[in-house]
Structure 1
């Protein structure tokens, strides 16, 4: 499990510090993007080992991706970037960000563009790390996660 220098778990530290909890994140995503399907961390970890594994896309900014990302992830920030790279609209795609909000928005846009097999990674990279799954960085194995963006917690 990734830890901060002070010894706090990543999600506990950020969500405690900024007053954001997982239930609030989940409610916000469900309210704004009710048609977007999700996949759990454990389900993606299992599917990632199968021959028919999905395309995994990190929609965070390149600086965030460089610090930490899922090992099989491609870094494409927008639905337009994804559509330009992946033309098969039936291909299984999983998108993620820090907590799932940005990726839910991208998933919704992809669905509007005709992609039929897109899922949002529920609670995204923070929960992936919290559950102890490995992350990569530009230099190999990630030792930390790019910090939470405080402005996100003020989305209302």
Structure 2
């Protein structure tokens, strides 16, 4: 794996790249986790069914993320196994995103209605 490169970006770096429409953010958490809270604009491709060859990149680089960074690193490994030489994930995952006070879509469990926070 020495020829494979895993990049880590901070939540602020990911947000800046998202705002500039430079990247596609892929959330590898399971659908129930994604439904409860998520980064606005992120797409859900759960690690349990992750297929690195089916990511909708639109020609843009992909940034992987999960809750804390473990599953996104595992998804990066799947990208390497699929032939990618480099992969990028967000350091600290959604927890770090929330700690940074960045926008989050949260679903109210009582009503099922999503709202934007942050």
TM-score interval for Structure 1 and Structure 2 normalised by the shorter chain: 0.7 to 0.9
1:141 is matched with 115
TM-score, length of structure 2 as denominator length: 0.78
Question: The residue matched to 2:67 in structure 1 has which SS?
Answer: coil
Task: Note the 1:5-154 alignment, pairs <5 A.
Answer: 35-51=5-21, 53-78=22-47, 79-80=50-51, 82-86=52-56, 91-138=60-107, 139-141=113-115
Confirm or deny: 8 A CA contact 1:38 1:120 kept in the other structure.
yes
TM-score, length of structure 1 as denominator length: 0.60
Going from structure 1 to structure 2, the CA distance change for 1:91 and 1:118 (only over 3 Å counts) comes to farther
Going from structure 1 to structure 2, the CA distance change for 1:84 and 1:141 (only over 3 Å counts) comes to same
The higher radius of gyration belongs to 1
**d(CA) in 2 for partners of 1:94 and 1:62?**
18
Unaligned runs of 5+ in 2: 108-112
**d(CA) in 2 for partners of 1:87 and 1:93?**
6
Question: How far apart are residue 91 of structure 1 and its match?
Answer: 3.5
Question: How far apart are residue 71 of structure 1 and its match?
Answer: 0.3
Confirm or deny: 8 A CA contact 1:92 1:117 kept in the other structure.
no
Which structure dedicates a bigger proportion of its chain to strand? Answer: 2
Q: Write the deviation string for residues 45-86 of structure 1: whole angstroms up to 9, x where unpaired.
A: 1111114x2110110011100010110111101331x42243
Question: How far apart are residue 141 of structure 1 and its match?
Answer: 2.2
**d(CA) in 1 for partners of 2:86 and 2:44?**
19
